[in-house]
Amino acid sequence: NAGVTQTPKFQVLKTGQSMTLQCAQDMNHEYMSWYRQDPGMGLRLIHYSVGAGITDQGEVPNGYNVSRSTTEDFPLRLLSAAPSQTSVYFCASSYGGTGAYSPLHFGNGTRLTVT
Amino acid sequence: AQSVSQHNHHVILSEAASLELGCNYSYGGTVNLFWYVQYPGQHLQLLLKYFSGDPLVKGIKGFEAEFIKSKFSFNLRKPSVQWSDTAEYFCAVSQYSSASKIIFGSGTRLSIRP
């Protein structure tokens, strides 16, 4: 089925470990983004990309890296996990290069716990 | 930096009651405005959006929102809610000059009593 696929669905990390959250879409969307969702704080934008080779920072980029080598994939890397990064992470994509002029399509989320 | 405020964190209504959820944003320039909804166990999905033109925007499932530029507001309304409207509602904004940076509010949880 077409859509946004996030892996893994659940992950537990120890403080200081690194990992990559995967996001792939098969809709040929130019725009992709990562959000984290925390209780009472809604969704906060971490990083976004308007096309392959182009990324930019969102509201809360510290502690996270991204790259966009292909249109389909937009992985999010945690270099040294901290308990403050415990959250649910959502990847979203959109047709066109801005994310604003057509609806965002969200993945199912990755629930990350850092102990 | 732009920000989005949703002051109602949790709203509880009975079926058939009217709904209005508040959304205010901080940016003074031209903006794009959105309401997204997350039903229990489902993805976020777009309810409605405003880019320009008629400030009263109609969306899916009988929802509408009014853009009031002087008040920096984009409140969501529905004349008569149903139990199936139980969900979390998120207002979002992007600046026209930086349309790619879509900022969400903290969300409002809506509970409908049957």
Residue A40 is predicted with a pLDDT of 83
Residue B98 is predicted with a pLDDT of 74
Q: What is the DSSP code (8-state) at residue A84? A: G
Q: Is the pLDDT of residue A7 over 90?
A: yes
Task: Convert the pLDDT of each residue in B14-38 to its tens digit.
Answer: 999 999 999 999 987 888 999 999 9
> Contact A104/B90, CB-based, under 8 Å?
no
Q: Do B106 and A40 form a contact (C-beta atoms < 8 A)?
A: yes
Indicate the pairing of strand A110-114 with strand A10-13. parallel
When CB atoms are compared, the residue of B9, B101, B107 closest to A58 is: B101
Residue B30 is predicted with a pLDDT of 86
Residue A29's H or E segment, with its range, is none
* Bridge partner residues of A14 (DSSP): none
> Contact A41/B51, CB-based, under 8 Å?
no
Q: Looking at CA atoms only, how far is residue B100 from chain A in angstroms?
A: 4
Task: Convert the pLDDT of each residue in B55-110 to its tens digit.
Answer: 999 999 999 999 999 999 999 999 999 999 999 999 999 887 777 788 999 999 99
When CB atoms are compared, the residue of B6, B9, B100 closest to A100 is: B100
Residue A66 is predicted with a pLDDT of 98
Residue A96 is predicted with a pLDDT of 74
> Contact A103/B46, CB-based, under 8 Å?
yes
Task: Convert the pLDDT of each residue in A41-83 to its tens digit.
Answer: 889 999 999 999 999 999 999 999 999 999 999 999 999 999 9
Of the candidates A95, A83, A110, A85, the one whose C-alpha atom is nearest the C-alpha of residue A11 is: A110
* B89 at interface of A, judged by CB pairs closer than 8 A: no
* B102 at interface of A, judged by CB pairs closer than 8 A: yes
Q: Is the pLDDT of residue B44 over 80?
A: yes
Residue A1 is predicted with a pLDDT of 60
Indicate the pairing of strand B108-113 with strand B10-14. parallel
Task: Convert the pLDDT of each residue in A9-25 to its tens digit.
Answer: 999 999 999 999 999 99
Q: Among A33, A37, A43, A54, pick the best mutation site for testing chain B contact (most B Cβ within 10 A).
A: A43
Annotate B57-114 with three-state secondary structure: EECHHHCEEEEEHHHCEEEEEECCCCHHHCEEEEEEEEECCEEEEEEECCCEEEEEEC
The two structure tokens encoding residue B8: 């109602």
Q: Is the pLDDT of residue A97 over 80?
A: no
Residue A99 is predicted with a pLDDT of 67
Residue B22 is predicted with a pLDDT of 97
Of the candidates B32, B68, B31, B62, the one whose C-alpha atom is nearest the C-alpha of residue B47 is: B62
Q: Prior bond to A75 cis, omega within 30?
A: no
The two structure tokens encoding residue B85: 């409207």
Q: Looking at CA atoms only, how far is residue A63 from chain B in angstroms?
A: 19
CA–CA separation, A103 vs B52, rounded Å? 16
